[in-house]
Chain A
Amino acid sequence: MATVLVIEDEKTLRDNLVRILNAQGHDVITAADGDQGIRHARERRPDLVICDILMPQVDGYGVLAELRARPETAAVPFIFVTASADEADLARGLQSGANGYVTKPFTIAELLAAVRRWLPAGQDG
């Protein structure tokens, strides 16, 4: 069992992410924007962060940079979920220190494969 932070401004998609992760037995914390996401990450110390890139205010890159900058959140596995299929964006995401990258639209299997890969052993569902 693990605690997963989902940062996604699109409510319906956020809800679906919660449903998918809950179904795997994970605790899910949600945030509708970057700031909220950073706050939850610090306070709740999730085991994994799933974050959208394009968001109002602080975007996904901002969130990642912020988490990596703090010792308590620096090591948290971080997966981008993005609508951009651009290879340049993919490269940028990975260079910025993200652990995984899932492009929209994604199948449940794809998402869970990424989650399983980056969750500490024994914590995946």
Chain B
Amino acid sequence: MPAVSHLEPDFLAAALNVARIGICFVDDQGLFIEVNPAFCELTGFAREELIGRAWTIAAPPEAAANAERFLRAVLSDSARVPGQWKIRRKNGGMVEALVSFRPLTRGDGRRCAVLTFADLTARIAEHTERIRRHRDVLLGLAALDKSDLRAALGQILAADAATLGIERVSYWSLEDSATAIRCEALYILSRGGTDDGFAGTRLHAADYPTYFSALLGDRPIAADDAQRDPATREFASGYLRPLGITSMLDVPVWFQGKVVGVICHEHIGPPREWSGEDIAFASSAASMISLAHEQARWEDAMKALTRSEEKYRQVVENANEAIAVVQDGRIRYANLQCTRLSGFTLEELYARPFLDFVHGEDAPMVMGNYLKRLRGEDADASYEFRIIDKAGLTHWVHINAVAMEWESRPATLNFLTDVTERHELQENLRRSLAEREVILKTAPVGISFASNRRHRWVNDAFAAMLGYDKSELVGQSSRMHFDDQESWETFGAEAYPVLTAGGTYVAERLMKRKDGSRFWCQVSGNAVDPGDLARGSIWINVDVTERRRAEQEILRTLEKEKELNELKSRFVAMTSHEFRTPLATILSSAELLEQYGPRLPAGEQQALHQSIRAGVERMTRMLENVLIIGRSEAQMLEFQPVPTDLAGFCGRLAEEMKLAAGRGHSLDYSFEGARRTVSVDEKLLRHVLVNLISNAFKYSPPDGTVRFRVSLADAEAAFEVADRGIGIPPEDQPRLFETFHRARNVGNISGTGLGLAIVKKSLELHGGTIRFDSAPGRGTQFRVTIPLGD
């Protein structure tokens, strides 16, 4: 304090009297020594009421102890800092005052203190007013419709500028990468509007690194002297100075947990010291922008939601599927397609239980599923059933149903599609497939579908004809039906080129059954797709064993018929020759007797008569032979055994044959065994032996000897006739006993082809057997046995 000693003491007293702040002097006992009028005004006490009184009278009672401590600190010169002090007025009211003090030493050496009190009431009121004003502005901003972010931003910036009295208030959005900020709006207070030209200005982090790091440090940047403040001085030359900006207050704007922008206050004029209220207000403005962001986003979401709800409503209404909500057994909602599907109006649909629209047969199932679904149990989510439309027609519908809540209560959401047509097609297809399946299964032909030469499917008939179970065939290679690998490969090499060319391969081949037996099979194959054999081929297999047998039968029959024809013509030729020769003898003998008879010697005449008789006998024998065959083939040949002396019978027969033999032939006869009587049919036995012996002569060379041996045993009689004649070719041996059959080597030797047939038939009646051993050119030996029954 400057010395005042050279002033008049009255000056000081005058200064005390006019001073606007309260001044008081307090002694070391805490008693007022002197007070000025302003102090009296401040406390409401008169000067007289204070002088000599304890200074704590002006302190609130609860602060009296503090007041004493405070005074002692002041007197001891240990209290330094001026502070805010609450003064108790005489009327009990309180006045906030800013207190200053200084210890003094009086002339007598005693300590005292001077204290000044500046009334803060006005300032507090002003402060309060400002706060109120800030609050009102903020309330206004809070009530502001911030759905339009840009509009809200303009209002917030305008209110901010006006409230804080700042020339330029702008909002900058922080770009996503935090590498730049972009001016969204700048409000110029003096112009009362935004500077739209400035919007869009961008500042890059690379150019203002310090500012950006301060900005992202999430605390307001309050630069009283912006051109020197470390956080903002980067802007000084290029921005602040040209615009005359002296102070800056920048507050980050937060949204959803991160800095999205910054609200900038740029003061032009003398530098401004930013107060706490300024900062608080600016922060509130920043919050408002956050709210505006939030609301705008909400607004957008709501709009989107509305749009999408509308969209869904459109979708549902116009869906090609019928969509219905069912609750409490009734349709609560149905779209247009429901009315098209059913022919009922919405009102009609809503008026009746939904089950009324379901086909009676399907109603229990549909209801069951509906109830299960409502109870949250497993129910078919997707199935088909029938509905009855307004016209009474049945429609098949496919339903997809889910449980849902409709107006907060359980319901089902149902999607229905009319599948009547598909259903009919499917039904037709199913029926025709079933028919085809039946045809395929029951077809009497074996059918196999194969790919890669393996059975993929076979029908029952195929499995049956091969003696397998179907399961044994599917998946197996067709190799199993072939005798060997080579024949299988050959078959493939023949068949598959035909299939590839789109043709049908047909062949008859032997197939092997499971048991190894073979049968003739007509196999015909077609490719499903000739262009792609991998898609498989269809094989039809027909067992042609019967057919082939029948064919062979026919061939045999034809052959037999041909043979019969040959036999017939041979018979004709035979009869012609065999009858004409004796007839020629008979006729010529008869004519000779007629013309020369009486002139002929008696011996000659007798010989002629004899030759007639012999010729007639010969013809009779032949006729008999033919008759025997005819009778035997008509099963009319009789078997009449009689007791016979076999040795006697055979001896007579041998003599007879010897006499008949011509051309120097001789018969070597022998009999073995005891001479006894056996039961035989002499006539039949005669047929047998005469035929065998005369054949032996006939086919022997002139002068040849025929051996005739008979042996009689207990149970059977054996007859052996052997010659050294032309023999029987092996080809003729199997048919030797057939009627009219004659061996190919008989040449011009006449014969009827009946003899051995008669032998055979006769022996059959006797229960006998005949065997022969013959070689062409070497001769033939026949051996006949006859069982001798008792």
Query: Which positions in A face B, CB cutoff 8 Å?
Result: 10-13, 15-17, 19-20, 23, 32, 53-57, 59, 81, 83-86, 103-108, 111
Q: Which of B576, B584, B614 contacts A86 (CB 8 A)?
A: B576
Most chain B CB neighbours (cut-off 10 Å) among A20, A104, A107 = A104
CA distance A61 to B425 in the complex (A): 87
| B611 in contact with A23 (CB, 8 Å) | no
Nearest Cβ in chain A — how far from B497, in angstroms?
54
| A16 in contact with B596 (CB, 8 Å) | no
Q: B466 in the interface, Cβ–Cβ < 8 Å?
A: no
Interface of A is mostly: loop
Nearest Cβ in chain A — how far from B85, in angstroms?
173
| A11 in contact with B580 (CB, 8 Å) | no
| A85 in contact with B585 (CB, 8 Å) | no
Known contacts A13-B585, A108-B592; 6 additional CB pairs below 8 A are: A11-B662, A16-B592, A81-B584, A83-B581, A84-B573, A103-B580
Q: Which of A10, A15, A32, A56 contacts B749 (CB 8 A)?
A: A56
Q: A16-B589, A20-B588, A54-B577 are in contact. Are A104 and B747 (CB under 8 A)?
A: no
Q: Which of A10, A32, A106, A108 contacts B595 (CB 8 A)?
A: A108
List the count of A-B residue pairs having beta carbons below 8 Å apart. 81
Contacts of A107 in B (CB 8 A): 587, 591
CA distance A50 to B78 in the complex (A): 195
Q: A84-B576, A108-B595 are in contact. Are A13 and B749 (CB under 8 A)?
A: no
CA distance A55 to B576 in the complex (A): 15
Contacts of A53 in B (CB 8 A): 748
| B749 in contact with A17 (CB, 8 Å) | no
Q: B6 in the interface, Cβ–Cβ < 8 Å?
A: no
Q: A19-B596, A56-B747 are in contact. Are A104 and B581 (CB under 8 A)?
A: yes
**Chain B minimum-CB-distance residue to A12:** B611
CA distance A81 to B578 in the complex (A): 14
CA distance A54 to B747 in the complex (A): 9
Contacts of B589 in A (CB 8 A): 12, 16
| B581 in contact with A85 (CB, 8 Å) | no
| B577 in contact with A19 (CB, 8 Å) | no
Nearest Cβ in chain B — how far from A13, in angstroms?
5
Q: B754 in the interface, Cβ–Cβ < 8 Å?
A: no
CA distance A104 to B579 in the complex (A): 9
| A106 in contact with B588 (CB, 8 Å) | yes
Nearest Cβ in chain A — how far from B444, in angstroms?
52
Most chain A CB neighbours (cut-off 10 Å) among B580, B595, B607 = B580
CA distance A23 to B581 in the complex (A): 22
| A12 in contact with B585 (CB, 8 Å) | yes
CB interface residues, B 557-577, toward A, < 8 Å: 573, 576-577
Nearest Cβ in chain B — how far from A26, in angstroms?
15
| A55 in contact with B592 (CB, 8 Å) | no
Most chain B CB neighbours (cut-off 10 Å) among A19, A53, A54 = A19
CA distance A55 to B747 in the complex (A): 9
CA distance A116 to B523 in the complex (A): 75
| B577 in contact with A13 (CB, 8 Å) | no
Contacts of B604 in A (CB 8 A): 19
CA distance A105 to B615 in the complex (A): 12
CA distance A32 to B615 in the complex (A): 18
Most chain A CB neighbours (cut-off 10 Å) among B584, B596, B608 = B584
Contacts of B629 in A (CB 8 A): none
Contacts of A10 in B (CB 8 A): 581, 585
| A105 in contact with B586 (CB, 8 Å) | yes
Most chain A CB neighbours (cut-off 10 Å) among B585, B588, B600, B662 = B588
